Amino acid sequence: MEMKNLEKAMDIYAKLITGEEIKRGGTNGGLYDDYYGNAEVYEIVDVILKKMNLNIYEYKESLFLSAGEGNRIFGYSNEELKRAMNLRYNKELYLCYFIMYEILLSFYTDSASYQFKEYVRLEDICDEVTKALSVYTRDIAIYDMEEEQEESFRTIALLWDELPASSGENQDEIRASRASKASFVKLTFNFFVAEKLFVEVNKRYYPTDRFQAIVEHYFEEYRGRIYDTLSATDKKTEYPS
């Protein structure tokens, strides 16, 4: 192993882990060329990332990192995510997971079927969540809540159904909170914006290249995990960031 190749590999890792862009023709364009043009550098980076349980994705000649499943250093546990999103109960967290899932479905149904859409709005996602969860509230009278698992679809459907559409605010005043359907969606989008997965412009949410990179490579493998998690009765599943 040549020392200069090890140094290049470490530079690539250091830039990516600190959130710097590695893009062909960009400020760190030389590192992009080293990653794809030098087999030893490529292999060293691959070993480092596997040991750290990190995934690397390429999109539009840019490199992106994402935490692997169960990564407790670079990812979020359920409790950490509740704190980060200011949530109190597991059912609120699982509702946010479901909202995230519907946001993904706005752009992808699987890794091979990208739905071209420039942006989505809060109300679009609210409508989709309501439509998707409505099947679990049609026979609401027959549910015994004492027997409901906190992470079940029916529990989050009931939570969603009990929420007002908004808290009396107009579209320009919607705040991220647990007070309404719109506020829950806003809370979820705020997290995505903080993670550099979306940018908000004039109440429209545009997916970033980071979002495209992660979802295109990751969605097919993990798309069903929300079902496993919400249907589980004896364990919680950790989600990657």
Domain boundaries defined on the chain: 3-52, 78-231
Q: What is the pLDDT of residues 153-192, one digit of tens each?
A: 788 888 998 999 876 555 556 787 888 899 999 999 999 9
Q: In angstroms, rounded to a whole number, what is the distance separating the alpha carbons of residues 68 and 65?
A: 9
Residue 36 in this model has a pLDDT that exceeds 50? yes
DSSP 108-149: BSSTT-B---S-EEHHHHHHHHHHHHGGGTTTGGG--GGG--
| Identity at 21, one-letter amino acid code | E
For 121, residues 6+ apart whose C-beta sits below 8 A from its C-beta are: 203, 204, 205
Q: In angstroms, rounded to a whole number, what is the distance separating the alpha carbons of residues 32 and 217?
A: 19
Average pLDDT, the chain: 81
Identify the sign of the CA torsion 28, 76, 179, 102: positive
3-state secondary structure of 13: helix
The stretch 196-221 carries a mean pLDDT of: 86
